Amino acid sequence: MSRRTTELLYLVLAGAVSTMAYVSVYAGRYREIHRATIVYGLVFVAIFLVLHIVVRVFLSRADPYLLPVTALLAAIGLTEIFRIRPALALLQGQWLLVGALLFVLTVVIVRDHTRLDRYRYLIGALGLALLVATIVAGTTVNGAKLWIHAFGMSIQPSEFAKLAIVVFLAGYLDDKKVLLSVPTRHLLGVPVPAAKYFGPLVLMWGLTLVMLVFMKDFGMSLLFMAVFVALLYMATNRIVYVVAGGALFAAAAGLAIWLVPHVGDRFSVWLDPWSKADTTGYQLLQSLFTIADGGVLGSGFGRGFLLYTSRQPVVPDLQTDFIFAAIANEMGLLGAVAVILCFVLFFWRGARIATQAPDGFSKLLAAGLATAFALQTFIILGGVTRLIPLTGLTLPFVSYGGSSITANLVLVALLLMVSHRTNVVRAGTDVERRRLAELG
Amino acid sequence: MNKAISRVFVVGVLLFVALIVNLTVLQVIRADELAQRPENKRQLAQEQRIKRGAILAYDGSPIARSVRRSGFYHRRYPQGTFAPQLVGYDSVRYGRSGIEKEMNDELLGTAPELGVQSWLDQLLGRRPTGADVLTTLVPDVQRAAQQALAGKTGAIVALDPATGAVLAGASAPAYDPRKLEEQWADLSSDEGAPLLNRGMQGLYAPGSSFKVVTAAGALDAGTVTPETAFVDTGTFVIYGGKVTNYGGAVYGPHDFETALTQSINTTFGKVGDKLGRKRLVAAMRAFGFWEVPPLGLPSGAVVASGRYDGEGLLSPEAKMDPLAVAWAACGQEQVLATPLQMALVTSAVANGGAVMTPYVVQEVRAPGGRIVEAAEPAEWLTAIRPGTALTLNQMMRRVVTTGTGTGAAIEGVEVAGKTGTAERGDGTNLAWFIGFAPAGDPRVAVAVVVEETMSTGGAAAAPLAADVMRAALAQAALP
């Protein structure tokens, strides 16, 4: 069976499962099964079929599992969003459409991701510009400055900046990896590379600090720093960067807990939510109660106690950052673990694409994207389950949020491109190789 | 590079494993604990969406039932103020009390004994429907008790002596359960303590009504007979102190029966002294003192009677000097009793010496009417021998015919009883009456206590007992 047929098969499976989930929620809400529900389900399947065809035409040798996993996660997200606030599900559907369009544009325009390496400084600058724009023109929501309002929409630029920074770092680190792994000087007995190569790294650390202090965005800044440290380690194979990076971020985080009240609150709530049950700890506790209530088997799609009769969700921000609480409640431990395993599957395919890629840039790009994806998932899931302090991040593909789903669909497109190129280089036909060479 | 990527992947997977472990802890290991946390209002909020069963009076008329309003069920009280402290409240804000609390699982339809139907409901995601709780409270008797106490402070408990069923439990002042939430602040700070169920939670000096216990102990032990002769000089000097009669009365030569009918303290002081601390305490324990009567209410809703000091219930082994024993035999000293306990004392005499287990829930009826739980009368304690009970029964009849309790007499019915007047030290009295009727075949036993009266048990409490017993005897059937 060809990769694409496998992909199609799993897509159809994901489509069928998600249509069932959707119908179940609809029936639970309106006590009937309406024709429109089937139509919505079909529109959703159609979007992913179009993506499948685009992949079939342009990236025929790409990994067959990423797209179905994406579809399944998006379907679960849409279903739960519909469950919580039906009006938002339609908006999210439109964002999915926009994301699909961006996916297609990325594939059609870029074609070969190695071409991005040439523009790495431009892309890096673009990512930086997005973050600076957020600091300058952003509005503050829930204490953190993450949003830019433009053209009547709210955009969360850090989601896109995340991609740009990974592309830049992959190119930059691949270029400088030898220099970075050979220490030329010693500082306090620790071998360190030359300052001119180390400089951009300090800049990167500075960037995360700025994000922390000015945007008060603990989640994104943790994500940026962790991805950066992971990429450094993967490029140089030197554990000292992990230790140093960890120490630097810990120092920054410690300072932020002291100095930035918003970040300090989050930390103290994590330590003891019970004494603040009616104020800052309310949201986290409601999340824990809602998750615990799901038990092993869950209350069932559309059957959980997630809304008060006023239609207010029982956990504030349930449809965005806390969507996993709704999933754990309605799908239970088994369903929630299955969703986590979907993320692990995605991460595994991403890491596999990275290890199989023939060149350093491709390796680092795929590994960076997969790591960013996995870490973002871990940070928000760990936050809503009180494993780590809560920091506002979206759950990729699942949470309500246009920027998140569009940016992550572009992330899938990039991973598929790396995978396709790898397989062409390794086992492609002469025609495929020639076509790839022409692109370069 | 691949080695490093693999390592990062492994670390990532470990993080996800940590997530799964943590999730298992939340959803399985700590699930119950989190559900029980007071901060967790999910359960209460959800339960308002269940059609809670009704609490019914013995004739089937609803005392509290739920009606649906905009998706939520609210409690309605068709009979208004009807034993509110005993029935209890069900409030999202203030929680639950009384029968509402004790029978919560049944009322919500989640109790396991409700069986297959509710399990199937759970599987299909249907909300359970609550079961109805039929109480032993008889509307006419309950209302008679509440009316008798109108404007007063006190309590009345009426029992069926043969079964232990609580026919009425009135505590005054009371409150209107329909206005509980809006008046909560006033109710909970009111000096009259309208939320307190005086019948089961109120501890009072039993005064002379306690002489029934002393007499029971002494007759059972053979220390005295009704004919035993005594001489009263107005005081009984003992252990450097003295026992005196109410109002300074002097009765001269008399027998033990007269000592009970006229409530002569000096004689009961002497009998108590002869009986001694151990046998007096043993007689009390035989009637249930020092134990919480197993009425089937939440913990704290019924309290134990016995000897108390400022710190709480004293051990039954606690030392007493002879003077203390003599006064305790008269129901003074540190003896405190709830009206329920005194009702149990009088019903034991009425029931041939056996104290029946008191109960207030007659039946639990599943939706559809199937009876899933029914009360089965059972003996709780054997207080005295049947012969002693009969002797006491006859002595107590004379209290009502010729003694201090004539106010409890009912035309055409033989009533037995005992009055009590405990001086409270502030110039007011605590008026008691305990008794039962008809004396030959007792169907109702009652304990009445009225606080802050200038009058005696015979004048202030006995007529109230007569009203309640009359209402009970007018019933065709009692629990």
Contact check, Cβ <8 Å, A344/B6: no
Report d(CA A260, CA A254) in Å as an integer. Answer: 10
Nearest to B16 among A292, A328, A344 (CB): A344
Task: State how far the Cα of A256 lies from the Cα of A261, in Å rounded to an integer.
Answer: 8
Please confirm whether the linkage preceding B253 is cis (ω < 30° from 0): no
Pick the residue of B15, B17, B41 with the most A CBs within 10 A to test the interface with A by mutation: B15
pLDDT reading at B333 higher than 60? yes
**What are the angstrom distances between the C-alpha of B68 and each of A303, B59, B192?**
20, 24, 34
A242 touches chain B (CB under 8 A): no
Q: Identify the three-state secondary structure at position A290.
A: helix
pLDDT digits (tens, 9 = 90+) for B67-112: 887 667 888 999 999 999 999 998 877 778 999 999 998 998 888 7
- Number of CB pairs < 8 Å for A and B? 120
What is the enclosing helix (H) or strand (E) of A147? strand A144-150
Is the pLDDT confidence value at A38 over 90?
A: no
User: Rounded to an integer, what is the distance from CA A273 to the centroid of its chain?
Assistant: 27
Q: How many structural domains is chain A composed of?
A: 1
3-class SS letters over chain B:
CHHHHHHHHHHHHHHHHHHHHHHHHHHHHCHHHHHHCCCCCHHHHHHCCCECCCEECCCCCEEEEEEEECCEEEEECCCCCCCHHHHCCEECCCEECHHHHHCHHHHHCCCHHHCHHHHHHHHCCCCCECCEEEECCCHHHHHHHHHHCCCCCEEEEEECCCCCEEEEEEEECCCCHHHHHHHHHHHHHCCCCCCCCHHHHCCECCHHHHHHHHHHHHHHHCCCCCCCEEEECCEEEECCEEEECHHHCCCEEEEHHHHHHCCCHHHHHHHHHHHHHHHHHHHHHHHCCCCCCCCCCCCCCCCCCEEEECCEECCCCCCCCHHHHHHHCCCCCCEEECHHHHHHHHHHHHCCCEEECCECEEEEECCCCCEEEECCCCEEEECCCHHHHHHHHHHHHHHHHCCCCHHHCECCECCEEEEEEEECCCCCEEEEEEEEECCCCCCEEEEEEEEEECCCHHHHHHHHHHHHHHHHHCCCCCC
Would you identify the CATH topology of the domain B140-361+375-473?
Beta-lactamase (3.40.710)
* Mean pLDDT of the region B155-183: 94
Across B3-31, average pLDDT: 95
pLDDT at residue number A184: 65
pLDDT of residue A179: 77
pLDDT over 90 for what percent of chain A? 48
Q: Is pLDDT above 80 for B404?
A: yes
CA within 13 Å, CB half, B367: 18
User: For testing the chain A interface, which of B3, B10, B13, B27 should be mutated: the one with the most A CBs within 10 Å?
Assistant: B27
* pLDDT at position A190 over 80: no
- Provide mean pLDDT across the span A378-387: 95
Task: Give the best residue of B3, B8, B43 to mutate against chain A (max A CB count within 10 A).
Answer: B8
- Residue A87, phi then psi, degrees to nearest 5: -65, -35
> Quick one: average pLDDT of A250-275?
86
pLDDT at B44 over 60: yes
Could you tell me the two tokens for A131? 């973050």
Average pLDDT over residues A241-254: 83
* Out of B1, B20, B70, closest to residue A337 by CB: B20
DSSP code at position A215 = I
Question: Residue A37 pLDDT more than 90?
Answer: no
**Integer CA distances (angstroms), A386 to A260, A287, A298, A352, A433, in order:** 21, 9, 20, 30, 49
Query: Residues 301-360, chain A: which have Cβ within 8 Å of B?
Result: 303, 305, 308-309, 314, 328, 332-333, 336-337, 340, 343-344, 347-348, 351, 354-355, 360
pLDDT band at A137; cut points 50, 70, 90: confident
The rounded radius of gyration (Å) of the Cα atoms in chain A is: 22
pLDDT tens across A92-113, in order? 989 999 999 999 999 999 989 9
At position A409, the amino acid (one-letter code) is: L
* Residue A154 to chain B, least CA–CA distance (Å): 31
Count each helix (H run) and each strand (E run) in chain A, helices first.
16, 5
Whether B47 has a pLDDT exceeding 90, the answer reads: no
* Under 8 Å between Cβ of B129 and B110: no
Two tokens, residue B55: 């609490």
Is the per-residue pLDDT at A191 higher than 70? no
Dihedral sign for Cα atoms in the order A37, A39, A43, A49: positive
Looking at residues A157-178, what average pLDDT do you find? Answer: 91
Helix (H) or strand (E) holding A101: helix A86-110
Sign of the four-CA dihedral B375, B381, B382, B384: negative
| A202 pLDDT more than 90 | no
Query: So what's the pLDDT on residue A151?
Result: 63
pLDDT of residue B233 exceeding 70? yes
- SS3 at position A313: strand
pLDDT at B338: 97
Q: Which residue has the higher pLDDT, A236 or A23?
A: A236
Q: A337 and B4: CB-CB below 8 Å?
A: no
Identity of the residue numbered A2: S
Residue A2 in this model has a pLDDT that exceeds 90: no
Predicted ipTM?
Answer: 0.94
- For the residues B306-319, what does the mean pLDDT come to? 93
Tokens of residue B292, six digits: 């919480």
Q: Which pLDDT belongs to residue B237?
A: 92
Structure tokens at A70: 């994406």
Is the pLDDT at B52 greater than 70? The verdict is: yes
The 8-class DSSP code of residue A1 comes to -
CA B162 and chain centroid, separation: 17
pLDDT in the model for residue A19: 80
Contacts of residue A60, defined as CB under 8 A and 6 or more positions apart, other chains included, come to A3, A4, A420, A432
Mean confidence (pLDDT) of chain B: 92
Tell me the C-alpha distance between B341 and B199, whole Å.
9
* Phi, psi for residue B121 in degrees, rounded to 5: -55, -45
**Model pLDDT, residue A76:** 92
Name the pLDDT band for A178 (thresholds 50, 70, 90).
Answer: confident
Q: In terms of residue numbers, what domain contains A432?
A: 3-439
Residue B118 has pLDDT above 60, yes or no: no
**pLDDT for the residue B164:** 96
**Contact status, residue A94 vs residue A153, Cβ threshold 8 Å:** no
Cα–Cα distance list, B334 to B94, B204, B207, B245, B308 (Å):
34, 10, 11, 18, 6
Hunting for tokens 């994301």 — which residue is that? Answer: A99
> Do the beta carbons of residue B214 and residue B394 sit within 8 Å?
no
* Lowest-confidence segment of A20-24, A349-353, B16-20, B442-446 by average pLDDT: A20-24
Q: State the average pLDDT over residues B313-335.
A: 94
The rounded mean pLDDT for chain A is: 87
Residue A87 CB partners (closer than 8 Å, separation 6+): none
CA dihedral of residues A57, A63, A67, A69 (deg, nearest 10): 170
So what's the pLDDT on residue A196?
61
Q: Is A294 on the interface with B (CB under 8 A)?
A: yes
CB-based burial label for B168 (10 Å; 0-12, 13-18, 19+) = buried
- In B, minimum Cα distance to A324 occurs at B23
User: Which residues on chain A are in Cβ contact (under 8 Å) with B6?
Assistant: 351, 355
Contacts of residue A259, defined as CB under 8 A and 6 or more positions apart, other chains included, come to A213
Taking CB atoms and an 8 Å cutoff, what residues of chain B touch A367?
5, 8
Residue B46 has pLDDT above 80, yes or no: no
Contact call for residues A409 and A103 (beta carbons, < 8 A): yes
Backbone φ and ψ of B57, nearest 5°: -75, 170
Amino acid at B280: L
Is the per-residue pLDDT at B38 higher than 60? yes
13-42 of A, contacting B, C-beta below 8 A: none
Q: Which residues pair with B242 in a beta bridge?
A: B237
Residues A263 and A218: beta-carbon distance below 8 Å:
yes
B70 φ/ψ angles, rounded to the nearest 5 degrees: 45, 55
CB atoms within 10 A of CB A255: 14
- pLDDT band at residue A189 under the 50/70/90 scheme: low
What are the boundaries of each domain within chain B?
140-361+375-473
Strands B241-244 and B306-309: unpaired
pLDDT range class, residue A323, cuts 50, 70, 90: very high
What is the per-residue pLDDT across A369-380, written as a single tens digit (0 to 9) for each? 999 999 999 999
Judge whether residue A200 has pLDDT over 70. no
Average pLDDT over residues A288-313: 85
Half-sphere exposure of residue A235, counting CA atoms within 13 Å on the CB side? Answer: 28
Q: Is the pLDDT higher at B123 or at A410?
A: A410
Q: Which residues of B touch A355 (CB under 8 A)?
A: 2, 5-6
Checking if the pLDDT of A150 tops 70, the result is: no
What's CA B200's distance to the chain center, in Å?
Answer: 3
What integer pLDDT is reported at residue B436 of this predicted model?
97
Residues of A in contact with B121 (CB under 8 A): none
Q: Is the per-residue pLDDT at B119 higher than 80?
A: no
pLDDT tens for each residue of B201-222: 999 999 999 999 999 999 999 9
